[in-house]
Amino acid sequence: MLSTLSLFATFTVVLVAIALYPLGSSLYRVGHLFHDVSDYGMENCQLVQATGLNSCEDMAIHYPSSLAFLSCRNMLQRSQQAAVGQDANTPVVETSTIYLYNLKTDTSHPLTLVGFDSELNTLGISVVDSSEKPGKLVVMLVNRSTKPGRVEIFEYQLPDPTQASTDQTLSNTLEHRETVHHSLLTHPNGLYAVSDQAFYVSNDCHYHSGLMQKLEMFTQRPWSNVVFRNEDGIIRQAARGLVFANGIVFNHDHSLAFIASSTTGTVGVYRVTPAGTLHLSETISLDFMPDNLTLDPVHGHIYVTGVVKFLEATKFLKAPSLDTTTKAGFKVARIVNNTASNRFLGVNFAYETVLVDSGKVLPLGSVAAVDPRSNKLYASSVVSPGVLVCQLPS
């Protein structure tokens, strides 16, 4: 009897070890479990703070107008949303707020949502010029206040480009146009707006709560996917077999999609077919856990932001405080065309470090975007006291 129990216990331990090996291997490579992280490129950075401008998980810049749209929220509520394995049934006490940030003046103000009176629990945000209404901007938001999730589509009136624009003349409203529900929006996270109607959205998990979601995450099951909504409003799966798909962005001509896989520490590069489906062509291995991705529209670089110390991030999200010494820090990297000799082996992309904050300024970082006009980088976090603004070297 004892030998049978011993054999069963051994068998169970082996199965658990096999199941957890992918996560353990990834954390060893990207989680910085056994060494400290040093600041890099922080010399010309400053923290911009304003009432309500905190815990902005994602941002989207409309470069022609130099206006950034940020999805922000109360720090405590945002941390509960961001916690690993957080049950989707956790009630939302305070709704998210969308902030408009003027890159020319480093000023911001909240936007009033017109025609929208539902709960808003945002993550990904994306903007695109309206082809149907010139002078209008389409603003899309992931809303995880319900399960399955949904995508909210708003319109923003851009300032007249022929007139001098000031903070006082900028619109302070977002007009709600549509709520997109679909069973394929299981647990939406990252979002990329293609047109007035079309978008891509990543589902980081197949299960939206409970034990199965925890099992999926901690054993790195490839059950995550990306969903595409076309111009006709038809929603279908564009890519599958991903592990915790997160941020998503496209290159300048929409021929390639870049998708972050947070827990594996990789960014997948996908070819885009005429039908909108995505086919993996290359995987970029990072030394940190990527979150959101943004595109520099002038140079074509992809900016990747993410956590560098996984265990510290987990501890911090359980009890967020700006006074704690438990800071996870973050890294910003830039994906560029590979110029090394291995490009002849099909390695088309490489990455280079742009910025590392050990947690002294922002405890975490989830997104960074660059304004090529001023060569400034703007970074914010799922839990943070403001927006980090850095002057990059010329």
**Structural element, H or E, at residue 230:** none
Specify whether the CB–CB gap between 118 and 144 falls below 8 A. Answer: no
DSSP track, 243-262: SSEEEEEE-TTSSEEEEEET
CA 119, distance to chain mean position in Å, is 21
Specify whether the CB–CB gap between 196 and 130 falls below 8 A. Answer: yes
Q: What's the first-to-final CA gap in the chain, in angstroms?
A: 72
For helices 310-318 and 75-82, the axis angle rounded to 10 degrees is 130
At 132 the three-state DSSP class reads coil
DSSP track, 182-214: -TT-SSEEEEEE-SSS-EEEEES-SS-SHHHHH
Do the annotations mark residue 292 as ligand-binding?
yes
Half-sphere exposure of 324 (CA within 13 A, CB side): 19
Do the annotations mark residue 58 as ligand-binding?
yes
Half-sphere exposure of 289 (CA within 13 A, CB side): 28
Tell me how long the chain is: 394
Do the annotations mark residue 291 as ligand-binding?
yes
Tokens of 151: 């995508």
Tokens of 394: 């010329």
Residues 132-167 as b/e (b if ≥16 CB within 10 A, e otherwise) read eeeebbbbbbbbbbeebbbbbbbbbebeeeeeebee
Do the annotations mark residue 106 as ligand-binding?
no
Annotated binding site: 58, 125, 189, 246, 291-292
Annotated binding site for Ca(2+): 58, 125, 189, 246, 291-292
